[in-house]
Amino acid sequence: MSETFPGFDGAPLALTRMGTGRPVILLHGLFSSAEVNWVRYGTAAQLAQAGFACLMPDLRAHGASAAPHDPAAYPPDVLARDAAALVAHLGLDTFDLVGFSLGSRTAARAVIGGLRPRRVVLAGMGLEGLAGWARRQDFFRDVIDRFGTIRPGDPAYMAQQFLKTSATDRQAVRLLLGTMEDTPPAALAGVTMPTLVLCGDKDNDNGSADRLAQALPDAQRVTIPGTHMSSVTFPDLGQALVAFLTAE
């Protein structure tokens, strides 16, 4: 079921729901969408079958959500603000929070900013992806700026191809990239709830998941098959999420 909710500034953002039970907010990755990250390969269905109400927004400038070209629509930590707006809109008192890649960065920033989920999952993320975001930001800006000219063999080629398939608004997402600040490891002390650091065995895109788990107060580390791109396509992702979110 798809609907919209107002972002922090009232911008209409798309929300897909699946299942009933304990609410879990699922935040997708850069250049992706709820459909691609969570629905297409069955992860949301696994969670729904396990008794969760999956709440899957399309992040600002992604999917079916608003993609404004006004720089004023992209203040610092705008995605974390939008996540808080979703929780307020739905009146959630208790919920779990799951992110993948950009969604993990958003989840961490939202919790540091005051959001209090019961449990958190940071998937497809390492310590350097949070603490060294400026370097990753430059990489993705380069992908956008050279879009359509990047050839096979270039480290940016796969990101360009994914951006092509997603039809993401390049001007809007370039503005979005500038809203994200580095998260120093010391700030992760604010993520006090039980946290799962989940990463593919061939995924090093965002640095060391082991170091991220070590920097968190209450984290466990789980490895699943796949690269950064492929790990969302395997059932292992959903199995790991269900195991963590249903554990006593």
* Domain spans, the chain: 2-246
CA distance 88 to 99: 18
Q: How confident is the prediction for the chain on average, in pLDDT?
A: 96
Q: Please state the rounded mean pLDDT for residues 184-201.
A: 96
Phi, psi of 222 (to 5 degrees): -130, 140
CA distance 192 to 175: 31
Model confidence at 181: pLDDT above 90: no
- Can you give the pLDDT at residue 1? 57
Model confidence at 33: pLDDT above 70: yes
Model confidence at 222: pLDDT above 90: yes
Q: Please state the rounded mean pLDDT for residues 173-200.
A: 95
Q: Please state the rounded mean pLDDT for residues 139-155.
A: 94
CATH topology of domain 2-246: Rossmann fold (3.40.50)
- Model pTM? 0.96
Model confidence at 2: pLDDT above 80: no
- Decide: 60 and 11 in contact? Cβ < 8 Å: yes
Q: Please state the rounded mean pLDDT for residues 15-37.
A: 97
